[in-house]
Chain A
Amino acid sequence: MGGYARFVWPCYAFVFGILAWNLWAAARYQAEARKRALRALAMRGEAQ
């Protein structure tokens, strides 16, 4: 990297970390919303 490795590689590592975090956080958010919706459905079932 012509003497710039200590700047270039951390940039790529950080950005790929951000990409991975976005995927993980979105999947987790979706799973939690699904769980909450299922819980709401179960509570409605119990009430009826």
Chain B
Amino acid sequence: MWTWFYRLASPPFVYRTAGALTPWFLGAAAAAIGYGAIAGLVFAPADYQQGDAFRIIYVHAPSAWLSLFAYTTLAVAGAIGLIWRIKMGHAVAAASAPIGASFTLSALITGSLWGRPMWGTYWAWDPRLTSELILLFLYVGVMSLRSAFEDPGRGDRAAALLAIVGVVNVPIIHYSVVWWNSLHQGATVAKIGKPAMPGNMLWPLLAMLLGFMCFYGAVLCMRLRGEVLHRERQAVWVREAMRS
């Protein structure tokens, strides 16, 4: 029953598929981010309360969204590696961590630069900001733990365990603006019923979200190919691939 699952997770299949998908993801990311950035900076009208400072949303929200998505991918892939002992699960987790960490840092920096004119401060120990900072520490912890062991298998398992425990922070980040009093604004796009934005502001944001997701797909595939080669460098199929 599970044969297809193991076949999908075979290193040569993952290596080839990741290589084939990369240019498609990169092309889609360039188109969507190009449109989103130009439409967001030039054509979207200024917000009636925040003025032009609201344009930061077009890079801040996709960065924050990607920080959560990459962590969820990392935890799910780690769980797959841990439960089914599929090596490629750990490879996906290892590839996802640095990308997610960089976008978490990006969400924190852009949020801070947005907070200064809107809240009068670069940083506040607000539930959303604090939980996002904890996410950055979790990424750093997972990456450090993976490289702290001499035996890569033990490092993978330890990192997967920490990633799974840390995934509890993802819903905390998302619902922090609902559960606690927060300086941070509530949901804009993912509001049940109707998004809190008119179309000419919303479409560039959706394009940026899509573009960042495709970019994540492309970079994940590139890193995954490196990860597979590194882990399988003694395998026969790698020797044959290198010879050809």
Contact = CB atoms under 8 A, between A and B. Distances in A.
Contact of B53 (A4, A14, A25, A36): A4
B110 interface: yes
B117 interface: yes
Interface string A3-37: 11101101110110011011101110111111011
B172 interface: no
Given A7-B114, A12-B41, A23-B219, A1 B52 contact: yes
- Interface range for A: 20 to 34
Secondary structure at the B interface, as helix, strand, loop or mixed, is helix
Contact of A11 (B46, B51, B113): B113
Interface residues of B, number: 39
B141 interface: no
A7 B59 contact: no
B103 to A, nearest CB: 7
A37 B238 contact: yes
A2 B48 CA distance: 12
Contacts of A14: 106, 109-110, 113
B51 A15 contact: no
A30 B56 CA distance: 32
B99 A30 contact: no
B223 A2 contact: no
Contact of A30 (B106, B113, B222, B233): B222
B51 A25 contact: no
B215 A19 contact: yes
Top 10 A-B pairs, shortest CB-CB distance: A26-B222, A33-B226, A33-B229, A30-B226, A15-B59, A2-B52, A4-B53, A29-B226, A37-B233, A11-B110
Given A36-B230, A44-B239, 8 more contacts: A11-B56, A11-B59, A11-B109, A14-B110, A23-B219, A26-B223, A29-B226, A30-B223
